């Protein structure tokens, strides 16, 4: 059976005694084993990074950008292979897998402009004969701990800016679908990245803790569940690291009475059920304002859901595929049972879905609830599956309040033709990313991604200029070049300098 090894210093490294199983979610069968590293494995990666990072940092930004340009070309040339690898391990359909890769590449495209992004500031004559300038310098070694649901996009969101800024990087991908991250590292090497700058190590909590504790790793980026994000942030910061840790989500879609319901239904079915709901930017809660709006929306949603096709990951006709593994399937179905027990009206039940010829696959059919209440635990917590909950609001004020008071604050969308209402909502809602008639408001790569409340821990977001800021430290230089004339009264040296 295929074995997935670490990628350290430009080559494969065999794993230790412990290992994990990599499943094919469509077939419900183990397709590979991935070796779990330990602190010694991590030390090999750190040693490789330490040996080459200073020279990489000294490489001018334009040359680093050329590596990013070449990497982009190689990923595009290998798009089909990457999408097939990703689909086979994650379960998302091929078209969605290509979108996963493409959204990561958009951050790489931003990184191709790193010479401009790293420019500092300069003030001539800040004081008598004094100039002040700033520069951005890399942290040294960064690390990324990435989730299973975007095995191409999120690693590129992390290692792209970090490496472009002059850092070395150690990636710990999800053990559930690790093949694509390793392949991306191989393509970076092929693009001209020096060995040791990008290393991939596999493992579970033991490897995560080793990363958080290692004194030579200066910055850590994480995406995953909120409880683990809080743990990563707390432990990493306690060890003196710079940490950004992004957690779960319960994104809301607000539907005002004037919204185009046909468009809303089209957007909702994709945003709620695409990728089997395994997206932190999925839209699992819809909030129609007024019972008339809710009834009309429900009447259009049910037939649209009935038309959705659930299939194996390589079925070009399927709208979405299986969830990632059997444990996650059980988790989603347990939440469906919980919401029903809490009093939610189960309109469409996706439990017990099977696909002929793939009876062992980890499939969950699309599920719809109505009359869900804010006090339900199934509403408060992230389900991360193909489950859409309707929470009816009586007014615009209640529609603003629901996502604002929710423990998560990742994304929210409002559907309306009223520009004033949309502007008011965007200004007042307490959520990090807002879409106006856009169901999945992931910002473009040259802006920045990040949620509020339990969706994000740390002060700096991912990609865009926020990513550049996270992976660099700013240094400010104040300089004077004396002209040889008399220095004046030496007592002036005992007074704190001013520019007055």
Place of tokens 């990324």: 144
Q: What would the DSSP string read from start to end of 118-132?
A: T---EEEEEETTEEE
Distance of alpha carbon 461 from alpha carbon 138, whole angstroms: 17
Strand ranges of the sheet holding 130-138, from the earlier edge strand across to the other edge: 122-127, 130-138, 472-480
* Non-local CB neighbours of 22 within 8 Å, separated by 6+ positions: 4, 30, 31, 32, 33, 34, 89, 175, 176, 177, 178, 179
CA angle 180, 454, 198 (to 5 degrees): 30
**Would you give the DSSP letter of residue 498?**
-
Residue 190, both tokens: 């092929």
Q: Determine whether 165 is an active site residue.
A: no
Residue 66, both tokens: 């050329």
Place of tokens 């999408």: 83
Pick the catalytic residue from 111, 112, 165, 280. Answer: 280
Whether 333 and 354 have beta carbons less than 8 Å apart is answered as no
Distance of alpha carbon 72 from alpha carbon 173, whole angstroms: 20
Distance of alpha carbon 464 from alpha carbon 243, whole angstroms: 17
Distance of alpha carbon 375 from alpha carbon 49, whole angstroms: 49
Distance of alpha carbon 228 from alpha carbon 189, whole angstroms: 31
Sign of CA dihedral 253, 255, 259, 263: positive
Q: What would the DSSP string read from start to end of 347-410?
A: EE--TT---TT-TTS-----EEEES--TT-HHHHS---SSEEEE--BSSHHHHHHHHHHSSEES
Chain mean position to CA 106: 13
Distance of alpha carbon 23 from alpha carbon 324, whole angstroms: 8
Element holding 170 (H helix, E strand): strand 168-172
Count other Cβ atoms within 10 Å, centred on residue 420.
Answer: 8
CA angle 79, 31, 357 (to 5 degrees): 90
Residues with catalytic function: 280
């Amino acid at each position: 059976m295929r074995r997935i090894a670490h990628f350290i210093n430009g080559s494969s490294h065999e794993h230790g005694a412990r290992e994990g199983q990599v499943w094919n979610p469509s077939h419900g069968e183990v397709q590979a084993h991935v070796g779990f590293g330990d602190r010694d494995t991590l030390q090999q990666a750190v040693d490789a990074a330490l040996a080459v990072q200073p020279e990489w940092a000294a490489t001018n930004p334009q040359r680093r950008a050329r590596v990013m340009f070449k990497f982009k070309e190689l990923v595009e040339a290998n798009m089909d292979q990457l999408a097939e690898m990703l689909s086979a391990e994650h379960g998302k359909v091929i078209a969605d897998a290509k979108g996963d890769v493409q959204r990561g590449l958009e951050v790489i495209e931003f990184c191709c402009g790193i010479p401009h992004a790293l420019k500092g500031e300069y003030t001539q004559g800040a004081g008598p004969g004094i100039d002040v300038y700033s520069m951005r310098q890399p942290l040294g070694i960064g690390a990324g701990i990435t989730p299973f649901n975007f095995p191409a996009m999120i690693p590129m969101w992390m290692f792209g800016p970090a490496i472009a800024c002059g850092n070395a990087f150690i990636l710990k991908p999800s053990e559930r679908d690790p093949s694509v991250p390793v392949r991306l590292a191989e393509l970076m090497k092929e693009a001209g990245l020096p060995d040791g700058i990008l290393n991939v190590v596999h493992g579970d909590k033991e490897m995560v803790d080793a990363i958080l504790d290692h004194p030579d790793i200066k910055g850590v980026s994480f995406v995953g569940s909120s409880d683990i994000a809080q743990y990563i942030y707390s432990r990493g910061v306690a060890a003196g690291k710079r940490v950004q840790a992004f957690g779960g989500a319960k994104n809301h879609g607000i539907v005002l009475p004037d919204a185009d319901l046909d468009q809303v239904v089209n957007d909702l079915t994709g945003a709620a059920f695409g990728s089997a709901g395994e997206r932190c930017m999925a839209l699992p809660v819809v909030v129609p304002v007024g019972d008339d709006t809710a009834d009309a929306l429900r009447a259009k949603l049910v037939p649209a859901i009935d038309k959705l096709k659930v299939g194996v990951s390589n079925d070009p006709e399927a709208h979405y595929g299986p969830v990632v593994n059997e444990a996650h399937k059980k988790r989603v179905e347990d939440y469906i049972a919980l919401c029903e027990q809490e009093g939610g009206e189960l309109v469409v039940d996706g439990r017990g879905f099977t696909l002929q010829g793939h009876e062992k696959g980890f499939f969950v059919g699309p599920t719809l609830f109505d009359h869900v209440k804010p006090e339900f635990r199934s509403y408060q917590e992230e389900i991360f599956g193909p489950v859409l909950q309707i929470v009816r609001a009586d007014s615009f004020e209640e529609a603003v309040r629901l996502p604002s008071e929710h423990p998560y604050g990742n994304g929210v969308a409002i559907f309306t033709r009223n520009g004033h209402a949309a502007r008011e909502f965007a200004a007042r809602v307490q959520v990090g990313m807002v879409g106006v008639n856009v169901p999945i408001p992931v910002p473009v790569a040259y802006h920045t991604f990040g949620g509020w409340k339990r969706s994000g821990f740390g002060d700096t977001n991912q990609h865009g200029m926020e990513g550049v800021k996270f992976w660099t430290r700013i240094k400010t230089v104040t300089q004077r070049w004396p002209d040889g004339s008399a220095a004046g009264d030496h007592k002036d040296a005992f007074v704190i300098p001013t520019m007055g």
